[in-house]
Amino acid sequence: MRFKQFILSAGLLTVFLTTLSWAGNLTVRAYLNRNDVSVGGQFTLSVQASGSQANKIASPQLPDISKFARFMGSSSSQSIQFINGRMSASKTLIYYFRAIRPGSFTIPPIKVIVKGKTYKTNPVSIMIRRSAASQPPAAGRSAPPQKPEAGMQTKPDLGGALFLRALVNKREVYQNEPIILTYRIYTRVSVTGYGIKALPKTVGFWAEEIPMPRQPQTREEIVNGVKYMVADLKKMVLFPTDPGKKVIDPMVVTCQVRMRNTRPSRDIFNNFFNDDFFGREVEKNIRSKPITIHVLPFPKAGRPADFSGAVGRFNMTVKVNKDSV
C-alpha cells in the first residue's frame, strides 16, 4: 500500500529543521549578489532582516553611492515560517544599481529601523573594473567606429526565452505527506537581477522554507530540444493539512533583462541614450502556473486504533545513564 511505503526519516527531518534560519531576536545584514563587476554592469544590494519582527522593517535610507553606481529600482521579498509553534519571519529589500565608475568601493553600514529601534548592517565592498568597451585604444591606433545603436522596447516580447515553472515531486499525496515545491527560472536571455514580486499562497498546507544559496546556482537544461540556463529560486516543503483538491497559487518574479538593440536609428541622441551605459536593462514580470494537488484521506484499512495522524517512519532510541544501581 502506498501509505505504508511512504518513508520519511526522522533523522533527516531533524537535520532539515535545524538548517532552517529562525530567531526570536532580529538580525540584519547586507550583501551583494556580486562583488566584482565591470563598468556598465548591474549589481544588487540586499538588506535582509530575520526574526519574528522582520516583516515590520521600514525601508532604510541608503548611503550615497552615486559616485560609483546609479540607482535602477528596487523590489522586496518576504517569508514567514512556523517551527515548533514559533514564528520566524524574513524580509529582504533588494536594490538594483548600475556600476558607472571603476575602482574599489565600500558601502558603509545601513541603518534599519524596526518598531523604533535602530539596527545596523555590516559594510560591504565592491570592485568595479573598467569595461573592455571603455578601454582607451593603444598608442598610434584609433578606436574603431561605433555602429549605430537601436531603440529599446519598454515592454519586450521575449516569447519563450524567459519563463518560470513551479515543480512538485508529486501531485497526489495522503494527508500530512510532504511535497517538495520548487520554483525554477528558465532563460535564454541575460538576466542581471531578479526579485520575488508576489509569493505563492499555500492555503491548506503547512509550509516550511528550504534554505537556498544566496547566489542561485545555474546549469543547462534542454526543454523541447531548446537549451536554457536554469536556476532554482525558491524551495518549500508543503504538508497538506486535510484531504481534498488544493491549488498552489502562482509566484511572480520581476527580472532585470539585458536586451540587445534590434533597430538602427539615425537620431544621434537616440543612439546616445540607448548605448550600454544608458538604460539597456528592461524589466520583465514572469509568473508560474498554478498547481493542483489531490490530497487523499488516511486509508482506513490497516489503520491502528490509536492512530493520531502522524505520517512517516519514526525511530526511537532508549538509553539509561546507569546499567546497574
**Mind listing the pLDDT tens digit for each residue in 164-208?**
999 999 999 998 899 999 999 999 888 878 888 888 888 888 888
Cα–Cα dist 196/199, whole Å: 7
Mean pLDDT (whole number) for 62-70: 91
Quick: pLDDT tens for 135-156.
554 444 444 444 433 333 345 5
Quick: pLDDT tens for 202-242.
888 888 888 888 778 888 888 887 889 899 999 989 999 89
Mean pLDDT (whole number) for 294-309: 77
Half-sphere exposure of residue 312: CA atoms within 13 angstroms, side-chain side: 14
Give the start-end residues of each E strand in 84-144.
86-99, 103-107, 111-114, 117-120, 124-129
Q: According to the model, what pLDDT value does residue 14 have?
A: 34
Domain 153-297, what architecture?
Sandwich (2.60)
**Cβ contact 254:195 at 8 Å:** yes
**Cβ contact 237:179 at 8 Å:** yes
The mean pLDDT value of the chain amounts to: 75
Torsion-angle region of 274 (φ positive above 0: left; ψ -120 to 50: alpha; else: beta): alpha
The segment(s) of the chain belonging to CATH 2.60.40.10 are 20-131
- Over 90: is that where the pLDDT of 311 sits? no
Which of the pair, 256 or 267, is modelled with greater confidence? 256
- Over 60: is that where the pLDDT of 157 sits? no
Mean pLDDT (whole number) for 115-134: 83
Strand partners, 36: 127
- Over 50: is that where the pLDDT of 314 sits? yes
Q: According to the model, what pLDDT value does residue 312 have?
A: 61
Helix (H, G, I), strand (E, B) or coil at 39: coil
Strand partners, 228: 221
Hey, which CATH number is domain 20-131, 2.60.40.10, 1.20.58.220, 2.60.120.10, 3.40.50.720?
2.60.40.10
pLDDT band for position 158 (cuts 50, 70, 90): low
Mean pLDDT (whole number) for 1-13: 38
Q: According to the model, what pLDDT value does residue 165 have?
A: 94
Q: According to the model, what pLDDT value does residue 199 have?
A: 84
Mean pLDDT (whole number) for 79-106: 77
Which of the pair, 18 or 266, is modelled with greater confidence? 266
* H/E element, 18: helix 10-19
Q: According to the model, what pLDDT value does residue 113 have?
A: 85
Q: According to the model, what pLDDT value does residue 189 have?
A: 86
- Over 60: is that where the pLDDT of 272 sits? no
pLDDT band for position 308 (cuts 50, 70, 90): low
Q: According to the model, what pLDDT value does residue 81 have?
A: 59
- Over 90: is that where the pLDDT of 82 sits? no
- As a whole number of Å, the end-to-end CA separation of the chain is 46
- Over 90: is that where the pLDDT of 103 sits? yes
**pTM beyond 0.85:** no
